[in-house]
Amino acid sequence: MRAQAGMKLLTHNLLSSHVRGVGPRGFPLRIQATEIRVSPVDFNPDFVTRMIPKMEWAALVEAAESLGHLSELPRQLEEGYEKDEDFLRKVHHVLLEVEVVEGTLQCPESGRVFPISRGIPNMLLSDEEAAS
């Protein structure tokens, strides 16, 4: 049986809770993982370099740490990272190779829990729960 894929930390860094009333305080979602998978992905320095400016760096570090995969990521982005291959490889690992297969994502403001099963987060909210 093939191992299941999981949610990547790159995706987690873009997700926010949209429970009514939480606004920007719905980010970042707190990860509770019961099953994690580390799966190699071809290293592409150009892609990683492009993604770094789009990331909320502190949230990325926090998420990686909560999964026990901080992987020596610095807590602050340093200048000139584009040319630092070692650094880019670490970022690549954290963004694309660490996956949450089973677990939950929790809205930090409302406490609402979104399940992750078979690596797929379920972000559905009913009309009453969601922002208008």
Partner 1 sequence: MEKSIFELWGHGKSPEELYSSLKSYPMEKMAPFLHSDTTYKIKIQTFNKTLTQEEKVKRIDALEFLPFEGKVNLKDPQHVFSVLEDYGLDPNHIPEKPLNIYFGRWIADGQRELIESYSVKKRHFIGNTSMDAGLSFIMANHGKVKENDIVFDPFVGTGGLLIPSAHFGAYVCGTDIDYNTIHGLGKASRKNQKWRGPDENIKANLRQYGLEKYYLDVLVADASKPSWRKGLFFDAIITDPPYGIRESTRKTGSQKEIPKGIEKCPESHIPVSFNYHLSDMFIDLLNFAAETLVLGGRLVYWLPVYTPEYMEEIIPRHPCLKLISNCEQRLSSHTARRLITMEKVKDFEDQDQYSHLLDNQFLPYKGLNSFREKYFSGVTKRIAKEEKPSQE
Task: State the residues that interact with partner 1 by CB under 8 A.
Answer: 1-2, 5, 7-8, 10-11, 14-18, 24, 26-28, 41-42, 44, 46-47, 50, 54, 56, 115, 117-128, 130-131
Cβ neighbours for 101, distance < 8 A, ≥ 6 positions apart: 4, 5, 6, 7, 33, 35, 36, 37, 116, 118, 119
36, β-bridge pairs: 100
CB of 49 to partner 1, least distance (A): 9
Nearer to partner 1, 20 or 70 (CB): 20
Nearest to 94 by CA among 38, 54, 56: 38
- Tokens 């807590």 appear where? 75
Nearer to partner 1, 70 or 123 (CB): 123
Nearest approach, Cβ of residue 73 and partner 1 (Å): 19
